[in-house]
Amino acid sequence: MTDTLQALTSSILGEINDAKTLDALEQIRVRALGKKGTLAGVMQTLRTLSPEERPVFGQAVNNAKEDLENAIREKKDMLEKEKLMKNLEDGRIDVTLPGVRFPKGTVHPLTQVIEDLEDFFVGLGYEIEDGPELENDHYNFEMMNLSKDHPARAMQDSFYTDETMLLRTHTSPVQARAMLKRKGQPLRIICPGKVYRRDDDDPTHSHQFMQIEGLLIDQGVSMASLRDVLKQMARHLFGEDRDIRLRPSYFPFTEPSVEVDVSYVKKDGTTGYIEILGAGMVHPNVLKMGGYDPDVYRGFAFGVGVERIAILKYGIDDIRHFYTNDLRFLNQFKGVE
């Protein structure tokens, strides 16, 4: 009996030794040690033995089982290591192969205009401010000298989420926020950002567009200072041969107020002007509400339409191109990556 068991065990040990894969090894394990496997079958023969022989043979079967389990474990470790090495070998990177090219995006033309103007104004000592797009009526209108029933609200009336909150109609509320933050100290800031209006979309108007707000408060500030900064800006953007034209206008938060046009050469060779921004001297009421004494401080402010700048700069025929994500349009602005 014991001889047969030994012969069986060494034959299975031979199979384990020869196993080439983890699957093959698992099949051998099930066949030898499984519930209905070879050793379980051998155990069945215990019943046919005499009571003296049983413990000796039982012990021999257990030893055989232990030997087989140890052999399987060792072989399994070995096969797993082999598999890992093969995987590493297969996955080795050949550094001499050409790399895969990822398509590179481009900086959106509106972002290019904003970044260019940020650089320009930072160079003049301005700080860049930020403000919320979902704005309180208080900052968007009241602090800008537009009381609840002011008729000028109708020109910009916008998207309200409740009685007091609306998508800001211009970047001017950032003026109020910046003034309150500086607590009466001289300031110069710009704030680029999105604004929303109930304007109908057409080639030069969009219901959502971008502005850059500018505000400078100090002693001795005049319309001449405003005109000088805006002229420098126009020449920086469009070239040294450009001129600007200030036309009287009306904004409740500035007095006097102007609209500013920039010159361009028409197709027939004559000079034309296109409006790019609104501006003016900060209204004394706005200064007061912002915590500044209008007898000591004066300020100028302006709000530039970013799309209008980009339209002029790049010769674009329709403002809607900026928002349709058409790669044929966007890929033309590869200047900056």
Of the pair 38, 254, the CB lying nearest ligand FA5 is at: 254
In the chain, the amino acid numbered 6 is Q
Segment near ligand FA5 (CB under 6 A); pick from 33-41, 91-99, 116-124, 271-279: 271-279
CB 173 within 8 A of CB 146: no
Residue 289 Cβ vs ligand FA5, minimum distance, rounded to whole Å: 15
Judged by CB under 6 A, the number of residues near ligand FA5 is 23
| Residue 322 to residue 108: CA distance in whole angstroms | 8
* Interaction residues for ligand FA5, span 308-337 (CB under 6 A): 308, 319
Segment near ligand FA5 (CB under 6 A); pick from 17-25, 93-101, 263-271, 295-303: 295-303
| Residue 193 to residue 209: CA distance in whole angstroms | 9
Q: Which of 138, 126, 144, 188 is nearest to 163 (CA)?
A: 138
Interface with ligand FA5, residue 187, by CB under 6 A: no
Q: Which of 164, 146, 145, 163 is nearest to 154 (CA)?
A: 146
Question: What are the beta bridge partners of residue 272?
Answer: 264
Question: What are the beta bridge partners of residue 258?
Answer: 248, 279
Among 199, 218, 255, 318, binds ligand FA5 (CB under 6 A): 199
Of the pair 42, 216, the CB lying nearest ligand FA5 is at: 216
Interaction pattern, residues 250-269, with ligand FA5; x per rule: CB under 6 A: -x--x---------------
Interface with ligand FA5, residue 278, by CB under 6 A: yes
Q: How many CB atoms lie within 10 A of CB 109?
A: 24
With a CB cutoff of 8 Å and minimum separation 6, the contacts of 161 are: 134, 167
Q: Could you give the count of Cα atoms lying within 13 Å of 283 in the half-sphere of its Cβ?
A: 18
Among 307, 311, 312, 321, binds ligand FA5 (CB under 6 A): 307
Peptide bond just before 256 cis, omega within 30 deg: yes
Segment near ligand FA5 (CB under 6 A); pick from 57-65, 230-238, 262-270, 297-305: 297-305
Among 276, 287, 311, 312, binds ligand FA5 (CB under 6 A): 276
CA angle 182, 147, 285 (to 5 degrees): 40
What is the DSSP code string of 30-57? HHHHSTTSHHHHHHHGGGGS-TTHHHHH
Interaction pattern, residues 130-169, with ligand FA5; x per rule: CB under 6 A: ----------------------------------------
Interface with ligand FA5, residue 298, by CB under 6 A: no
CB 172 within 8 A of CB 303: yes
Segment near ligand FA5 (CB under 6 A); pick from 17-25, 31-39, 75-83, 303-311: 303-311
Among 230, 286, 303, 312, binds ligand FA5 (CB under 6 A): 303
Residue 184 Cβ vs ligand FA5, minimum distance, rounded to whole Å: 20
Binding site for ligand FA5 (CB under 6 A): 170, 172, 197, 199, 205-206, 209, 211, 251, 254, 275-280, 301-303, 305, 307-308, 319
